[in-house]
Amino acid sequence: MSDKNNSLTVASSIGLSRRRFLQLSSYLGVGAFLATHSLNSIAASVISEHVGEITKWHNCWAHCHSSCLLKIVTENGQIKRIETDDQGDDVFGRHQVRACLRGRSLHKRAFSPDRLKYPMKRIGKRGEGKFKRISWDEALDEVYLQMSKIISKYGNQAIFNRIGFGKPDGPYHFVPRFLNLIGGFLSAEGNYSSHQIDTASKYTYGESKYTFGSAPSEMAHSDLIVYFGNNPANTRMSGANDTYHYQHYKKQSSAKTVIIDPQYTDTACGREDLWLAIRPGSDAALVEAIAWVLITEKFVDEEFLHKYCYGYDGEPGDSEKGIPSLEPSLGYKAYILGDGPDKLEKKPEYAESICGIPSEQIYQLARALGNAKAPFIAQGWGPQRHAAGEQTARAIFMLPILLGKIGLPGTNNGGSDFMFSGSDITPMPIGKNGVQAKVPCFKWLEAVERGHEMTALSDGITGAERLTSDVKCIFMYQGNWLLNQHSDCNATAKILADESKLEFIFVMDNHMTASAKFADILLPDITWLENSRVVRFATHLTLTEHVLDPMYECRHPYQVFSDLAERFGVREAFCEGRSWDEWQQYLYEESRKKHPEFPPFDVLQKKKTIRLPFDPEAPGYVMREFREDPIIHALKTESGKIQIYSHTLAQYAANWQLPDGDKITPLPQYIPTWESYADTETREKYPLQLIGFKSKGRPHSTFHNVPWLREVIQDALMINPLDARARNLHQGQQVHVYNDRGVISVPIRITPRIMPGVVGLGEGAWYSPDSHGVDVGGCINTLTRLKPTALAKANPQGTNLVEVSPAP
């Protein structure tokens, strides 16, 4: 063996990089170095001098929920590089969970120039981003003083908090735990990601858990895959998640794939059999036309509909359940065939002018669905982020329902095709919230202006009939939802800046985001690489190690909230005598009670990451038990069956105080909305529909400040060549995209991968208005609307009309 090859063998055997080995051996020459140093002495010298590479296991905690494995390599306390999973092999089920570029650029996020370094207090006007440096004690004393005043004057309901990442019982559970110990807070009902489809799932299948449908593994047993607005190649693109599984399982079947989306996505990208370009917000009209073909051409499963469903046709009453009888004319079948109140047949010709898909293709798709033995029908979360998103989600659910293809191998319930939907690590107990009322997640800003007027009937307040006060304090830990991820940034900024309305804004975060600039007290948080916790996801269980010590004056948030709890006299109750690491061990041992396959903590502590059993052939189809016995495993709906017609929604339609133009219907039906293609009046001024989509370069606004990713994934407005030519625009040109709410400045990408009449922009760019009010950051929410949806009162951020012109 040559000295060079021998050096690589030695380096590998002691965990030393080739580069470092050659650096050390260069002083003597490789041969002399090998001859005069034993392996043990080499390793000892590296460790004692603290000059060798140190590798630690970590996870990417980005919002795609993949939690991909990362190997962080440091030397002399500095990050040299980030690698990913190198365990396992290429056999699916034992495959490596390789991270995408976002996870591999974590160090760029940790060392970003806009990193928050020390506690600060606002000195300029709120929103100007002017702060002075203060001590931790000064900062926490001020937080205690301001919050105590607000609680004393208005009560705890005046404090609003929602977690920027994950659920309240997720990785940052110490925040609601602290707030609950001081009396509670006004919390959010639902979340920006999926509140509309969650609501649709509740009124169709009885529980929001049915938002998550069958796993992609069922595609191996399917003969037709239909995706509505679902693009896992962007949203879940790592080796741990859906797009990899989608590709793997699709290869195992002869299933044809139909992609229904205004954009030709990377999920389609040569792997689809048909792309149907659909106008945003019109999916429900397409479903109705498909339903008309299925019913008239006898493709529906009438036996399934009568046994497992309520509301397809006439239904007898049930006095025990308090359900009145349903006249056939009010059922779904009558509505589709034109025998209902509107007397309109929902033929493909009717839908063509609404959704932009030729009627011939609608007939073909309907017949393909009708003839499929195991159709896998799924929807992403884009279609439900529209002004009638609940109706869209309910409508898409109807396709597998009509076909009776639910609870069977190779099928899906019409929900999202998530492979894994939970971490299964016991969360820190958050205690009881002393404030019972919840405000719909998208209406928190409205509660700042008119909280005392908001009721259950007019505003969707849950847990109480009404709110008793306006929101006076925003308590924000992590996230950019205060401004950047909310709608109408210009209008939102004005409300946030008004100190007569919002008396105190607390923010703790990593970077000077658009939202952080509005803080009164701004605290620096540690990044993921400075933190540690137990993560279980996909095929691995990992004790993530802190790779870096907390930088600058940043402190672990658990310590910060412990000190804040002490000022309120609840430190002992908050900590229960445990440090953060001790909490992680305690919660892990609690998790083992329901997961006996988890090894003891000391084993995990030693190995750091452990591959968990994963059977790629295990059944992954949803609603199996309900299909086998709908009596024993009845759904939590009004009837115990799949609810096509909802008497509850009929009551809401009759009793709720709805704004003009809003509509709630007991059946899943297409509702024309404001700022859609159906809004011909607004389209005269703003003729293009604007949609946002998840960029490969960031999950929401996280990672936007990583230059590497910005170079790879350009923030540009997608526009069809026909629309560009009509406006005399050329490739890469800087343009203004605008409507009555604002103006953003971005370059354009002219491409046939988006349909005519529609433009698309990756959401999450940071709002940055210039002196003229033009958002040069390119944040799509400068152009979105604050009006919530009718039923869930959720975010309609995909429903927008705009115009595009050259930037002056």
User: Which pLDDT score, from 0 to 100, does residue 240 have?
Assistant: 66
Domain with CATH 3.40.50.740 in the chain: 120-193+425-525+549-607
The domain at 120-193+425-525+549-607 falls in which architecture?
A: 3-Layer(aba) Sandwich (3.40)
Cβ atoms 435, 781 nearer than 8 A: no
Q: CA–CA separation, 568 vs 575, rounded Å? A: 13
Q: CA–CA separation, 352 vs 367, rounded Å? A: 17
Q: CA–CA separation, 633 vs 65, rounded Å? A: 30
CATH 3.40.50.10800 fits 203-421+623-640, yes or no: no
Identity of the amino acid at 527: T
User: Which pLDDT score, from 0 to 100, does residue 170 have?
Assistant: 54
| Cα 347 to chain centroid, rounded | 35
Residues ≥6 apart with Cβ < 8 Å to 753: 263, 264, 718
- Comparing C-alpha atoms, which of 670, 665, 800, 674 is closest to residue 353? 670
Identity of the amino acid at 242: D
pLDDT over 60 (residue 422):
no
User: Which pLDDT score, from 0 to 100, does residue 494 have?
Assistant: 97
* Mean pLDDT, range 189-213, rounded to an integer: 94
**Segment among 63-77, 108-122, 670-684, 699-713 with least mean pLDDT:** 63-77
- Residue whose entry in the numeric block shows the structure tokens 């007569």: 500
Q: pLDDT tens digits, residue range 762-789?
A: 999 999 999 999 999 999 999 999 999 9
Q: Give the other-Cβ count within 10 Å of 615's Cβ.
A: 9
Q: pLDDT tens digits, residue range 355-378?
A: 999 999 999 999 999 999 999 999
pLDDT over 80 (residue 43):
no
State pTM to two decimals: 0.91
First-residue to last-residue Cα distance in the chain: 67
For the chain, what is the mean pLDDT?
Answer: 89
**Phi and psi, residue 213, nearest 5°:** -95, -145
Domain with CATH 2.40.40.20 in the chain: 680-806
Q: pLDDT tens digits, residue range 580-607?
A: 999 999 999 999 998 888 899 999 888 8
Cβ atoms 66, 538 nearer than 8 A: yes
How are strands ordered across the β-sheet holding 256-260?
274-276, 256-260, 224-228, 375-379
pLDDT over 50 (residue 665):
yes
Cβ atoms 666, 341 nearer than 8 A: no
Q: Give the other-Cβ count within 10 Å of 517's Cβ.
A: 23
423: left (phi over 0), alpha (psi -120 to 50) or beta: alpha
Per the model's pLDDT, the better-predicted residue between 530 and 19 turns out to be: 530
User: Which pLDDT score, from 0 to 100, does residue 80 have?
Assistant: 84
* Mean pLDDT, range 453-463, rounded to an integer: 97
Q: pLDDT tens digits, residue range 525-574?
A: 998 888 888 887 767 788 888 888 898 999 999 999 999 999 999 999 99
Cβ atoms 129, 512 nearer than 8 A: yes
User: Which pLDDT score, from 0 to 100, does residue 560 have?
Assistant: 97
**Phi and psi, residue 559, nearest 5°:** -65, -40
User: Which pLDDT score, from 0 to 100, does residue 47 have?
Assistant: 37
**DSSP bridge pairs for 462:** 438
pLDDT band per the 50, 70, 90 thresholds, residue 49: very low
CATH 3.10.20.30 fits 680-806, yes or no: no
Q: CA–CA separation, 627 vs 489, rounded Å? A: 46
- Comparing C-alpha atoms, which of 160, 162, 140, 138 is closest to residue 151? 160
Listed as own residue / partner, the contacts of 452-455 with beta carbons closer than 8 Å and 24 or more positions apart are 455/657
Q: What angle do CA 125, 126, 127 make, to 5 degrees?
A: 110
**Phi and psi, residue 688, nearest 5°:** -105, 135
CA-to-CA separations, 641 to 317, 536, 796, in angstroms, rounded: 14, 34, 29
